[in-house]
Structure 1
Amino acid sequence: MTTYHELTGFQRDLLTAIAGVADEPYGLALKDYLDEHYPKPINHSRLYQNLDELVEAGLVSRESLDERTNAYRLTDAGESCLQAQAETLASVCDTRQVVADGGDRQ
């Protein structure tokens, strides 16, 4: 099974985008989500090539919405992959945090 660390940074961001898109996670909605987080617009070819790779890896499923549009959803493996990374980040971020006034918050 493909692990989170075997993915490219862009593929990791795609998993996050699929989980984060409120409406139907179709290609252009994912592109719009990523365009808000990247300094330059995402190339369509790059987007769909990486979505295809995530589908092949079993982390994402593709479902036809109509003749031209596919929806992308995390599979159980994709959700587990993203959840494991979220738990790792939460555990390392659960340390002392600097607050705006320069003090510490625990």
Structure 2
Amino acid sequence: MALLAGAGYPKGEGLRELTCHVTVGFRPRTNEYGQFIVQTLADIGIKVTLQALEAAKYNQMLFGPRAGDLFEHGWFIATTDPEVLLSSLLRATPIPRG
């Protein structure tokens, strides 16, 4: 709250409403995570609307030139091999596309 007040938005007053985008049917609890984000930000005075999108539309917005305000997004590695896990996070060069 102090950061908002210091930025000129006491209790979120004057701050525009934001939209948090989540995917439909991608992960089982995505909507719950989005609702948690909305409620957590509301607790400090930031108004957020939750918008559920089909995966194709979500990805189009996420990677488009005008992405949007907030996206509930995550990642996972489908292996227990620590080398694969760490090499995906700690690289000196970009991962090749394709």
Query: TM-score, normalization: structure 1?
Result: 0.27
Higher relative CO (Cα under 8 Å, sequence separation at least 6) belongs to 2
Query: TM-score, normalization: structure 2?
Result: 0.29
